[in-house]
């Protein structure tokens, strides 16, 4: 079985992905290898796109393709740096109830992100990578974290809001949707998200050399893709697994 065939099977992708990858993604892989050739330090790549747009799939494809060419790759997902239930509950009680739900800036362990990025950049030996179980909506125990070597050629970090910058606070005066109008009439939630972007997230973007953005055709597509994503997650659950963290249509 060819590598691409195995990838299609593992990711449950249609055969048409083969042509898409050949036309759009393989040229990027070739460009990354050329970019890295004269360098000794790792290349940090930020992969950004809306929820359900295929970031994780593309991240895996890039990593697999680069490894086929002999490169060492560490793949990271912003989702694996979510705060646990208790920490989000504390934010919900002390700042705003909406922070009980994972997703937006403020609900990630940015200190851990910095620690991992610095270790990968400085080649400190080995480091543990956090993981998050979306089915249980909580962090994976530390003893189950994966250990990786900190001497990669490429670091690929994907996340739906990774790379997003803060905006002028005046732009947040008017709610942009019903959720903000009903749940955040005093702007507390969105101002705190904006503050977190400026103070905690933006400084981390300086680690990155290159950015790749996946553009969705519309917000309607985002909703449909995200719903498919949650249903796919349900299909992967074992009978004994809880599904507290799975989002239904109303939650989305």
Please write down the HEC assignment for all residues of the chain. CCHHHHHHHHHCCCCHHHHHHHHHHHHHHHHHHHHHCCCCCCEEEEEEECCCCCHHHHHHHHHHHHHHCCCCEEEEEHHHHECCHHHHHHHHHHCCHHHHCCCCCCCECHHHHHHHHHHHHHCCCEEEECCEECCCCEECCHHHCEEEECCCCEEEEEECCCCCCCCCHHHHCCCCCHHHHHHCCCCHHHHHHHHHHHHHHHHHHHHCCEEEEECCCCHHHHHHHHHHHHHHHHHHCCCCCCCCCCCCCCCC
Centre a 10 Å sphere on the Cβ of residue 18 and count the other Cβ atoms it contains. 15
pLDDT average, residue stretch 51-64: 92
Residue 36 domain-assigned (yes or no): no
Average pLDDT over residues 219-240: 62
Highest mean pLDDT of the ranges 121-125, 158-162, 226-230: 158-162
**Cβ-contact 212, 46 below 8 angstroms:** yes
Higher-pLDDT residue of 147 and 225 is: 147
User: Is pLDDT above 80 for 166?
Assistant: yes
- Position 135 in a domain: yes
Q: How confident is the model at residue 3 (pLDDT cuts 50, 70, 90)?
A: confident
pLDDT band at 235 (very low <50, low <70, confident <90, very high): low
- Domain annotation covers residue 53: yes
Residue 27: inside a domain:
no
So what's the pLDDT on residue 215? Answer: 86
Q: Is residue 124 part of a domain?
A: yes
Distance, first Cα to last Cα, the chain: 38
Query: In this structure, is residue 23 part of a structural domain?
Result: no
Q: Are 24 and 214 in contact (CB under 8 A)?
A: no
pLDDT of residue 139: 98
In the prediction, which pLDDT does 4 show? 87
Q: Give the mean pLDDT of 56-76.
A: 96
State the pLDDT at residue 233: 60
Closest CA to 3 of 54, 74, 69, 75: 69
pTM higher than 0.85, yes or no?
yes
Pairing of strands 154-159, 43-49: parallel
Report yes or no on 247 lying in a domain. Answer: no
Q: Which domain holds residue 137?
A: 41-236
**Beta-bridge partners for 155:** 44, 74
* Gap between the Cα atoms of 185 and 198, Å rounded: 22
Per residue in 128-152, pLDDT tens?
A: 999 999 999 999 999 999 999 989 9
Say if 141 falls within a structural domain.
yes
**CATH code at 196?**
3.40.50.300
Model pLDDT for residues 70-121, shown as the tens digit of each residue:
999 999 999 999 999 999 999 999 999 999 999 999 999 999 999 999 999 9
Residue 171 binned pLDDT confidence (cut-offs 50, 70, 90): very high
> Angle between the 55-68 and 3-11 helix axes, to the nearest 10 degrees?
160
User: How many independent structural domains does the chain possess?
Assistant: 1
Please, which pLDDT band fits residue 224 given cuts at 50, 70 and 90? low
């Amino acid at each position: 079985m060819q590598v691409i065939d195995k990838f299609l099977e593992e990711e449950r992708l249609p055969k048409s992905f083969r042509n898409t990858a050949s036309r759009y993604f393989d040229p990027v892989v070739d460009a990354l290898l050329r970019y890295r050739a004269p360098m000794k330090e790792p290349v940090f790549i930020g992969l950004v796109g809306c929820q359900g747009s295929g970031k994780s799939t593309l991240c895996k494809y890039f990593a697999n393709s680069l490894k086929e060419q002999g490169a060492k790759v560490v793949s990271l997902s912003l989702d694996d740096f979510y705060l646990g239930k208790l920490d989000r509950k504390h934010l919900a009680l002390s700042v705003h109830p909406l922070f009980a739900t994972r997703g937006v800036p403020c609900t990630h362990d940015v200190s851990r992100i910095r620690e991992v990025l610095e270790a990968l950049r400085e080649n400190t030996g080995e480091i543990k990578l956090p993981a998050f179980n979306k089915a249980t909506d909580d962090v994976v125990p530390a003893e189950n974290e994966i250990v990786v070597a900190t001497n990669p050629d490429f670091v690929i970090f994907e996340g739906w809001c990774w790379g997003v910058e803060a905006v002028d606070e005046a732009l947040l005066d008017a709610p942009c949707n019903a959720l903000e109008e009903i749940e955040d009439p005093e702007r507390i939630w969105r101002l705190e998200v904006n503050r977190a972007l400026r103070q905690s997230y933006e400084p981390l973007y300086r680690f990155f050399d290159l950015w790749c953005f996946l553009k969705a055709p519309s917000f309607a597509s985002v909703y449909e893709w995200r719903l498919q994503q949650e249903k796919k997650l349900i299909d992967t659950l074992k009978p004994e697994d809880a599904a507290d963290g799975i989002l239904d249509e109303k939650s989305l």
